[in-house]
Structure 1
Amino acid sequence: MNTSKVIIITGASQGIGAETVKTFLSRGYRVVATARSIQPSTTPDLVTVAGDIGDPDTAQRVIDAAMKHFGRIDTLVNNAGIFIAKPFTAYTAEDYAQVSSVNLNGFFYITQRAVSIMENQGNGHIVSITTTLVEHAIQGVPSVLASLSKGGISAATKSLAIEYAHKGIRANAVSPGIIKSPMHAVETHAALAGLHPLGHMGEMSDIVNAIVYLDNAPFVTGEILHVDGGQSAGH
């Protein structure tokens, strides 16, 4: 029997999600990766599932793929998310629906199904990616929909940690600052760097390393780990 851990990663086709897939494969994990545009896998320890993570059918297909190919789920990384920066009164109903679908539905449906599997196993770990903007709003970076959705996930993380602690299931989150990823054009990097007390943006590896730490920290649960260049501490 293969005893390597099995990890599900959402939003896995690019950016932090793709880096997370690479890192955990290199550490001997078996990986189920999902995103709208993800390509089929030819790697034995990597299964890909294309679909909209906000759709409960996609969530079920991802869970089914993990169980069919690997027989268990040890960790779920809720990485999928979108950020729309607009003044509050400029948000449209379509913006609200899109953010709610990816950030909230995309967390809820797959986490609920993963926790059901983990309950039967007697162990498991949920890691969700939030944003430091939830606690530390920045003038000139309008972010109400991000705070509304990701702030809910931060609160839900603590609630899950307490509800399922006695079942051997941990729940944690990583709260990034602004990270060098395909989301941010290179010409914006200098201005974005100045929003952090450390004076530079984070690297995708900073977030992946935080996920790796949390997945190997059995005494840590209910933690919102800030990887934000000091933003949450103040200016």
Structure 2
Amino acid sequence: MSTSRKVAIVTGASQGIGAGLVQAFRDRDYFVVANSRNIKPSNDPDILTVAGDIGDRAVAERIVSEGLTRFGRIDTLVNNAGVFLAKPFTQYTPQDYASTLAVNVDGFFHVTQAALSQMEKQGSGHVVSITTSLVDHAIDGVPSVLASLTKGGLNAATRSLAIEYAKRGIRVNAVSPGVIRTPMHAPETHEWLAALHPTGRLGEIDEVVQAVLYLESAGFVTGEILHVDGGQSAGH
């Protein structure tokens, strides 16, 4: 299928920020390829769902290939899928380590590689990764080494890819959130989590979505790590 309408891939798309991104891109008349481990088929013919573990290279390649078959192009990839485990460093298990790297690093690598291969052929494209403000500002009481190790790597890869692909019409950026009000966080933790931000509140899903949409429309911005964190990265 050949089309002039843009196509966005969103990983981790079944709930929270990912679901918000799917809706936002549809509101802007994009076709969307939505992935998560157990995502259900959509009633919207302009949304293609691809279920599977993003850490599996075959799944990542299928997301791109099925998107191309259905919609004919890939314009935007949002690497939203992610795992966060808050444990003291010495209590992480080998399984914790492996599962976090599988989603946060392997998932990023495989689907980004497949998407960029297509974007190169088109001569245009945009990759956005969702990372974490903890990379820049560790917080006492929130042990987060695996998040910093993996998402910090994505920040560095974002800058590197931005330079590598700058002359090929492809931009690469990241959004670095603080704690966002999603189903991941139980309501009884919200007050404590809100206090971790200088602004004294949690972020909202739409605030991360709007940051992604800004980057999507900002043609002169690449290699940017955009903080949406209530001032966390600036300090306390």
- What TM-score range do you get, normalising by the shorter chain? over 0.9
SS at match of 1:170: strand
Q: Which amino acid aligns with 2:30?
A: Y
Aligned counterparts of 1:42 and 1:3: Cα–Cα separation in 2: 22
* Aligned match of 2:8: 7
SS at match of 1:174: strand
* Aligned match of 1:154: 155
Partner deviation per Cα, 1:131-154 (whole Å, 9 max, x = no partner): 000010000000000000000000
1:138-177 pair list within 5 angstroms: 138-177=139-178
Q: Which amino acid aligns with 1:130?
A: T
SS at match of 2:183: coil
SS at match of 1:181: coil
1:99-138 pair list within 5 angstroms: 99-138=100-139
Total equivalences in the alignment: 235
SS at match of 2:174: strand
* Aligned match of 1:203: 204
SS at match of 1:16: helix
Shift of 1:64: 0.8
Match status 1:32 vs 2:39? no
Shift of 1:42: 2.1
SS at match of 1:32: strand
Aligned counterparts of 1:205 and 1:125: Cα–Cα separation in 2: 20
Could you tell me which runs of 5 or more consecutive residues in structure 1 were left unpaired when the two chains were aligned.
none
- Aligned Cα RMSD in Å? 0.6
Partner deviation per Cα, 1:18-46 (whole Å, 9 max, x = no partner): 11101111111100000001001221110
TM-score normalised to the size of structure 1?
Answer: 0.99
Contact between 2:86 and 2:143, CA under 8 Å: does it hold in 1? yes
Contact between 2:178 and 2:229, CA under 8 Å: does it hold in 1? yes
* Aligned match of 2:190: 189
1:6-85 pair list within 5 angstroms: 6-85=7-86
Partner deviation per Cα, 1:41-77 (whole Å, 9 max, x = no partner): 2211100000000000000110011100111000000
* Aligned match of 2:228: 227
Q: Which amino acid aligns with 1:30?
A: F
Shift of 1:199: 0.7
Q: Which amino acid aligns with 2:141?
A: G
Q: Which amino acid aligns with 1:93?
A: P
TM-score normalised to the size of structure 2?
Answer: 0.99
SS at match of 1:97: helix
